[in-house]
């Protein structure tokens, strides 16, 4: 039941405003302490190789299904753990309608296993939601 409520909230959050560009499947993960769920939706049909793309980020309180807002700062980035490096670009995260955020500047320059890191800063604490993406061509 809670999962249905969260998905309905996402539909409302991501469906507001101007007509959306075609989007890929929403990727999600629960944070390390279970405080929030991160939903990342690429704003492309499929993640391209070595081409910039944007994602929409929604944070949800898993207990209530409401937008999660109990933070000082949020960052989003991606890394290739097997290679020990991240993206070659800076990601610009900006507020969007309905409590969501838009991150411009994603670029996966290599095929393989990537991890998207969504970090929520609350005072001296940092809590991460980590989403795995396997880019194949």
**pLDDT at residue 5 in the model:** 38
Structural contact between residues 106 and 118, judged by C-beta atoms closer than 8 angstroms: no
Kindly report the CATH number assigned to the domain that includes residue 111.
2.60.40.1930
Q: Look up residue 58 and give its two tokens.
A: 């929604």
pLDDT digits (tens, 9 = 90+) for 42-70: 999 999 999 999 999 999 999 999 999 99
What mean pLDDT is predicted for residues 119-129? 97
* Number of independent structural domains in the chain: 1
Beta pairing partners, 78: 116
Sheet with 85-86, side-by-side order of all strands: 85-86, 73-80, 112-122, 125-135
pLDDT band at 37 (very low <50, low <70, confident <90, very high): very high
**pLDDT at residue 23 in the model:** 59
pLDDT band at 21 (very low <50, low <70, confident <90, very high): very low
- Which residues constitute the domain of residue 122? 2-135
Q: What is the pTM of this model?
A: 0.82
């Amino acid at each position: 039941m809670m999962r249905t409520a969260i998905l309905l909230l996402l539909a409302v959050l991501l469906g507001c405003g101007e007509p959306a560009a075609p989007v890929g499947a929403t990727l999600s993960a629960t944070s390390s302490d279970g405080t929030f769920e991160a939903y990342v939706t690429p704003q492309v049909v499929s993640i391209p190789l070595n081409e910039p793309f944007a994602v929409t980020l929604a944070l949800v309180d898993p207990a209530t299904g409401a937008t999660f807002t109990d933070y000082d700062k949020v960052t989003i980035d991606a890394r290739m753990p097997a290679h020990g490096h991240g993206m070659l670009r800076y990601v610009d995260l900006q507020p969007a309608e309905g409590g969501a955020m838009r991150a411009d500047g994603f670029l996966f320059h290599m095929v393989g296993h990537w991890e998207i890191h969504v970090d929520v800063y609350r005072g001296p604490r940092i809590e991460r939601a980590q989403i795995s993406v396997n880019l194949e061509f």
